[in-house]
Structures are given as structure tokens and as C-alpha cells.
Structure 1
Amino acid sequence: MEDKIRSYIQQYRSDCFPYGLEQVFADYTITSNDQGYLLTVSLAFPCFTALQTAIETMAETLDVNMDLKAQVQVEAVREHNIAGVKNIIAVASGKGGVGKSTTAVNIALALQEEGARVGILDADIYGPSIPTMLGIADEKPGSEDGKRMLPLNGQGLSAMSIGFLVPDSQASIWRGPMASTAFTQLLNETAWDDLDYLIVDMPPGTGDIQLTLAQKVPVAAACMVTTPQDIALIDVRKGISMFDKVQVPVLGVIENMSYHLCPNCGHESHIFGEGGAQHLASEQDIDLLGQIPLNLDIRQGADSGNSPILSNIDSDISQIYRRIATNIVSDLYYQLDWRSPATATLSITEE
């Protein structure tokens, strides 16, 4: 039976595991017990939900009892000098009002639920909203050595924002160079605690400050948030172009407010248009990472600092965010991680 299990692991395919399960296992062992078999794995990226589905399918197919014990073993895909952080992922938008900050927070929480150590950095110096969304707007960071600030804990995430340090009225009147300097200080002078991923909530737009931040921060990759509206999609193209200029890979686009699902009859109403993000993704040769509906729980969670990712982990909206989060980090792994079977390898032979 152990040989059958190993064969299944090698042959299993899904959207999350296009090269088979074995290719995302940094290490794994199979042991037998009185109840069946235990699969112990170290994952190259957080994907507990997708892995659990795969193991349940395997158990049913092979008619065997399977238990799973998994941990995440993420590696940095880009060299940098930011202590305590492996990978920095920027969440950006071409314009304001598309739900970028809410999406960034919920992606970070979803990655945490999938097994990763995650932090979030609020780069929106002019209008920081992360403190409110995490329910810690009145807290202030401390310091153990007088040199580096300790990140605050918001719903399990390590968080830092200018909103913790200065009143909102002051943050909104800073000039561009001041804002850029303040942000780089927040990034470099925070004592991040061995994070697998640091999600950076970028300010909306594609102006000078956004370009400066993209150049100064060692971002591993970025993802764009948009609505289906044509005007929003036009600005997303500008955002993708900006990241291209600073040689930051754009993994894909997230379509927020994609549709409204009627709570009574289940009918989908595409209030802001339909198919825009899918067309954009095909045009730009990037992935459509996911579509998020208009949902009351998302709005209430953002206002109250109590995300639906944690308040109802089995809800449809929670599962949507978890799939999107897994899509982001799986793309990061397959495209940029040296351990991925999809990345190029260099071999030198002597004649």
C-alpha cells in the first residue's frame, strides 16, 4: 500500500499541484499505524486546504485511512537585507476605491490560516487603514533595544503602519519624499519575526511615490486588485507597466466586487460589469487569481476589525480568500522559487 500511496502522490494533478504533489513537498514520510497511514510533509508554500482535498481524494481512491501532518517550509525567492522576512508581496491597484486594503488584509489572514507566518505593512502613508481593519487602531508599537520597533499583533498578523505612530490628520499632508522616507523606515526599522510572507498594502495609483516605493522595496512579486469596470481596468494596465519598469513580476489580478450574490435566490448580478479581469489577464499573460463578490461580511469585518476569514472559517467568502491566497503563493513558488520544477536550471558539463 505504501508504494501505491507514493505513486498516487507522484501522479496526482490539480490547479494547485500541476506537477504532482511530490513537487511541492520539501520533504515527506509515510508511516503506518493501527488506523492506517500517516503522511508527514513539509510544504514549499502554504496550501493546507488544497492538500487536505488531495489527501481525502487519495484515501477514497485507494480505500485507505490517511492522516495528515503538515508544516510549511518557505524559502526566499529574492535576496534582500530585510531581517526577519523571507518574501515581500505587494498588493497594488491602479486607482483608489477598488478594495485593495481590504483585500490585502484578508489575503494575509488567509495565508495565515493556510499555515504561513505572515505580516502586513501599510504603505499607504496618506491614508493608513490597516490599523482599523485589524482592530488595533489605538495601539502603539514598543521597542526592546531603542532602535527597532516591535510590530503589533492584529488577529495573529505582525502589523506595522504609520497609523500607529501619527494622527490621521498629519499622515495626510506629508510631501512625497517625506512619505517615501517614512515608509522605508517602517520597513527597515521594524523587528519582523521570521515571516514567510510580508504583505505590503501599496498606496493606490501609479505616481511618483508608488514608483519610488516599488524601487526601494525588495518586492518578490506583486498582484493587482481591480473591479470589473473598464475605467479600473485601464488603470490596472498602468500599474502592471509600472512594475514591469522596476522589474517586479506581476503574478496576476484579483477581481474585487466581481458580482452580487442574492442571499434569497442565489442569482449573480454583475453590477460593475462582467469578464473584465479575465480579459485583462489573458491580454497581459498573467493569471486571474480569483473573483471576490460584493459581500456584507467583508464590509462589516473591515469596519469592525473582525475579518470573516477568522470569524467564520468555513464560510464561502473565507474559502474564496483562501483559494486566492494559495493561488498567489503557488504562482510565486512555481515561477520564481529555485526548488520549483518550472524554474530554469543551469548545468555545466566539461567536455
Structure 2
Amino acid sequence: MKLKKYAVLLVVVLTLFMSACARNTANQRTSLLTIQQQGSFMVGGTTISEPGKFNLTNALKPQGQTLHGDHAYVFYQIPPKARKYPLVFLHGAAESKKTWESTPDGREGFQTIFLRRGFGVYLLDQPRRGEAGKSTVASSLAPTPDEQFWFTQFRIGNYPDYFDGSQFPRDTAALEQFFRQMTPNTGNFDVNLIATACSQLFDRIGDGILITHSQGGGPGWFTAIKNEKVKAVVAYEPFSSFVFPVGELPKPIQSASLFGELKGVEVPLSDFEKLTRIPIMIYYGDNIAKEPTIVWNKDHWRAGLEMAKIWAATINKHGGKATVVHLPETGIKGNTHFPFSDLNNLQIAALLSDFLKEKKLD
């Protein structure tokens, strides 16, 4: 009889717990979201002109006309009584600002999570990507089926299998949303062009925190070099364009990556030292090889993580404040290349909040 009562009590407790969890999730989605300012604009870019005189009666001819392109697109939201520094979000390869918006399964992304926490948020589409697709250089877009490659490259799993414990939502609708958010380049990827546009954004908005993802890591370092208004950099899984002082470039890291060896980039010491004056935090997720392996996606990111550690050590040797966090080593497991949109993105957001608080940047 007592066992039956305990069983009923356990069911009641579990029901209340599940209801509370559901209410918390619903509250996050439906609680009032207050925005004082919202808008969008273009920043940076170049202009080309066709020689000649514009002919109004034959206006389809290019003579005497201009083309504005290679700018970044910026969407922003500012809450009332915003915190000291806004957050500027730069996406990675094959992505756009959508990366920071709603997650593939419809949960709130970092855009809204940190808006709710009182931060102004600025989301970029880099030059020649997404809503900044107007390019001044020619390109060719071929409809190439490659989504299973990206599934594997981004460590969701080894297609068609998900990694055990993967934090990526596993329903087919979420995967379709993920595939559909991927966005092609409309011109070649240009680190300096992107960094220049990002720097001009900071010139416009003032001091802020730069948050990058993957391929955006390289332009992020160069943005911080160009502009002292960047007060910190948080990078999620950067891979390429790690910068080192002239004479301190490490040997390329060999791996089974489909992109070959990973090399650093030399910059003048005076430029490198600018990165030592701000706090830098780097995060990597799970399913990255600890030792060389023929599993190419795990080995690709092993090289990236290894280079990041060498880079951070070089920053700190020169008096900087760079930290590399490998999430599974802290007990946070299952994250893909997109920890900020995985199922545990609130836990990942808490780490960012803690970093900003610790460094007095909030």
C-alpha cells in the first residue's frame, strides 16, 4: 500500500516538474520582448563606375553608370536601458546572419537570448553573402548538391548517422531548415574586405564585443587589429587565418581534412600586439579527434583546435589574455560546430554571459 502511495506521489512530482519545464520554455518564447530601436543599414563597400555618359533614352547601357557593392548588411535591435557594450555577430562559411537568429528547430537563438539579457545586438551578413550579396567581382554559382558534406564537416555526425549524444535536434524538419539556411558566396571570400566593413561598423556604433563563428574568426582578428573599439572577441570554432607575428609562424598542421594542411598567417608584431590588449575567448565543441585519425571531419577540427591553442599561447606569451575552452573537457558534451544553436544553447549562452561579467564587459 505504501509503495503504491509512493508511486502515485512520484508520478505527481514528475508531472509537476515536466509542467514547470514546459512553462519555462513557453515563458522564454512568449514573455514580453521590448525593443527601443530596430533597423538595418549597409556599411563599408566599394563603388565601380563605367566610363562615358549616362543616356536617359538608352538607360540599359552601362556607360556613365555606377555599381555599389562589397558592403556588409547589418540588422540591429537595441533594448531599453541597454548594457554598456553591444554584441556584434559575424557568421561563418556557407552561413549568413540567420546563424544567430532562431535555431533550426525554432528555439530562440543568440540574437534574442542576449537581447532579452539587455544587450544591443548587431547581426552582419558579410560582403558577398546573404543580404549583402551585391558584389563588384564576377562569380559563377552552380547548383551543386553538397549538403551531406556540410552535415559531416560541421560534425552533426557522419552522414547519415548523428554522433551519439549530439546536441543537434534530430527531427527531419529541423535538418531541412538547417540545409535551407545555407547561403552561397556571390564573389570570392576576402578577409580584408570583410574586416574593413566590420571595422567601419564599429566606427559607426562605437565600442562593442565582436562574436564570430568558424570562417568569420579570421576577419574577426583583423577587425580587432584595425579598430580599438573592439573591446573583446569571442570566437566559436575558428579555423583559418590565425595570425602570428613575423618570425613566429608555427609549422603547418597536417590532417586528413579535405582542405589540406592548416597554416597560420604572418602579421607585423605591432599589429599582433593589438590583439594582446583585449580579452579573447575561443570555444570548441565535441567529436574532435584527440590524436590524428583518418576520420576527416574529426581530424579537420583537431587541426583547428591545435592551432587555436598554439595561437592563444602566443598571444599570452606577448602579454595577452586569450583562453581556449574545449567544451567536453568541462563536462559539456555533444556540441556540434554550432554550439550557439544546439539543444543546449542556453547553457552555452550562460558561458558567454559569465565571460562578459568576469571581464566587466556587461
Flag the structure with larger Rg. 2
TM over 0.5: no
Higher relative contact order (CA 8 A, sep 6+): 1
TM-score of the two chains, using structure 2 as the length reference = 0.34
